[in-house]
Structure 1
């Protein structure tokens, strides 16, 4: 089944046709209306650039050059700075500075003038604005009908915001600093539970860092500390690139291990995959490691870190560099 709906009529010509002025007007109108629809539906309307409103005296404001599209899709190119005189307005009036498109209805004058239709950028400062006008600023006059810089507000300026359909901008189209970034957090570990062997002591967790205990039950701590922490991932993360761990003190040895976990939906199986395990020697430390095989499934992958130390250690920073670029996701499902 098919249904046809009339959406437009475009001028058509045939050999031997007598063309009159209405035919050329219809041709121009067709293309002009198509451009207006394009602007409104693909780009929206508002200020594209410039058109700043500034104080220029007790009774004047000035509008800088700029470009805008009005609410009917007309392109308005204000090429020169213009001043607006506000002296004729009543005291305490609230004026809207706006920009609108206009053109002559009927060309007048000699043959040269009649061959063109003049188009204008019309600036106004009035109580209210014309339909489809682009709002540039609001000006509040004082009790002497004068304006000061602080009485010019731009909160109601309408900027053009390109209309985008969901999924039309890929991660590749983003700037580099938007495709990758560092997730930074203090180390807030959960103690490792006892299993077959005695569990190491837990870290002492403060608001900004975790420390192993120097003493336990008034006796020197000779077992260090250990703990694990889940790392929250943003919905769009597709790969873990690097891990960074830093702290002021590490009096013995510390082991850092990063895990990608989660669920394999195809095999109905838990995933626990170590993607990095490194030793950190004593002293202040600030270490960064590249992660091999750091692919993250968009729906089912998790990330966690385990830190074990054999002496007194302080952990100030855990950070992971991640990417949101789908091109880096080499597989469609979780790798076990």
Structure 2
């Protein structure tokens, strides 16, 4: 089954054909319309560069050189600065400074220009805006129909923003520093479940760090501290690459575990995988570990960290390096 749809027509030539002016006009129109469609569909319309509107006196504004594409896909360039007079009968009005393309309907009548059709950039300062015109700025006039520098506003200015088709920007298209980055946070742990055997005391949690208690119920704390914390993953993260933990004091040993948890949708069961189990010895510390099995399922994986200290310790930073680049996946996610 095939369905052929007519989308356009273009001139076709053959040997011995008599060409008249309509044939050449049709040829020009075909290529011009193709360019207009290209501009609108691949780039959009609005100000590309320049065309700034400035105050030039009580009765004038000035528009700087620049380039724009209007709402019909016409390319418009101002090669030099241009001034526009403010209408004298527009007291307290809000006028729109705009730019649009225009051209002669018929070629010029004079012998020297009869083979040309003039094209224009039309600058306007009016209450309304012509169809397909590019708005450059709004201009508020005072009771004397004068304009001031504070009366020129760019809130309604239309700047060209290139549209992107869905799926055209993948992780590979991003700059490297956008493909991989660090999620960093203070350690704000939840206490270990009290009914768990050998559950450590909770950390004392402050706004920037977590510390073991020196005393519990006026007695020296000999059991350190422990806690767990969920790590929120940004949308699109496909892998955890590294874990970093740092703190100013550690009087004993610190055990750090990183978990990838969540849900196995296919088998309908809970997931709890320890992907890192490391130990930090005493003293100030700043440790970074590679995570060898850090693949993240985009819908069902979660991430958390557990830290246990067997003496007094302070934790200032927990950070994970993550990526949204699927090329860095070592094993494709299978959960779900």
* TM-score above 0.5, yes or no: yes
Hey, what's the Cα distance between the residues in 1 that align with 2:64 and 2:276? Answer: 57
Residue equivalent to 2:246: 246
Per-residue displacement from partner, 1:186-225 (whole Å, max 9, x unpaired)? 2221222256732111112233332221111211100001
Residue equivalent to 1:192: 192
Hey, what's the Cα distance between the residues in 2 that align with 1:73 and 1:62? Answer: 25
Q: What displacement does 1:94 show?
A: 1.0
Contact in 2 for aligned 1:263/1:334 (Cα 8 Å): no
1:92 maps to 2:92? yes
Hey, what's the Cα distance between the residues in 2 that align with 1:88 and 1:289? Answer: 72
- Structure 2 residues not aligned, in runs of 5+: none
Residue equivalent to 1:180: 180
Distance 1:25 1:301, change over 3 A: same
Contact in 1 for aligned 2:66/2:78 (Cα 8 Å): yes
Hey, what's the Cα distance between the residues in 2 that align with 1:283 and 1:83? Answer: 71
Residue equivalent to 1:167: 167
Q: What displacement does 1:268 show?
A: 4.8
Q: Matched residue of 2:113: which SS?
A: helix
Contact in 2 for aligned 1:44/1:162 (Cα 8 Å): yes
- Structure 1 residues not aligned, in runs of 5+: none
Aligned length: 335
Per-residue displacement from partner, 1:148-205 (whole Å, max 9, x unpaired)? 2211110111111222222111111112232222222222212222567321111122
Contact in 2 for aligned 1:250/1:284 (Cα 8 Å): yes
Q: How does 1:323-334 map to 2 (within 5 A)?
A: 323-334=323-334
Contact in 2 for aligned 1:201/1:224 (Cα 8 Å): yes
Q: How does 1:15-164 map to 2 (within 5 A)?
A: 15-86=15-86, 88-164=88-164
Contact in 1 for aligned 2:188/2:205 (Cα 8 Å): yes
Hey, what's the Cα distance between the residues in 2 that align with 1:196 and 1:206? Answer: 25
Hey, what's the Cα distance between the residues in 1 that align with 2:275 and 2:72? Answer: 56
Residue equivalent to 1:291: 291
Q: What displacement does 1:87 show?
A: 5.5
Residue equivalent to 1:205: 205
Q: What displacement does 1:235 show?
A: 2.0
Per-residue displacement from partner, 1:256-286 (whole Å, max 9, x unpaired)? 2212223344555543333323323333333
Q: Matched residue of 2:295: which SS?
A: coil
Distance 1:89 1:309, change over 3 A: farther
Per-residue displacement from partner, 1:108-156 (whole Å, max 9, x unpaired)? 2555522222211111111111111000100101122222221111011
Residue equivalent to 1:305: 305
Query: Over aligned residues, Cα RMSD in angstroms?
Result: 2.1
Q: Matched residue of 1:114: which SS?
A: coil
Hey, what's the Cα distance between the residues in 1 that align with 2:15 and 2:204? Answer: 91
TM-score (norm 2): 0.92
TM-score (norm 1): 0.92
Q: Matched residue of 2:147: which SS?
A: coil
Residue equivalent to 1:236: 236
Hey, what's the Cα distance between the residues in 2 that align with 1:334 and 1:313? Answer: 38
Pick which of 100-109 and 268-277 moved more. 268-277
Pick which of 274-283 and 41-50 moved more. 274-283
Contact in 2 for aligned 1:300/1:334 (Cα 8 Å): no
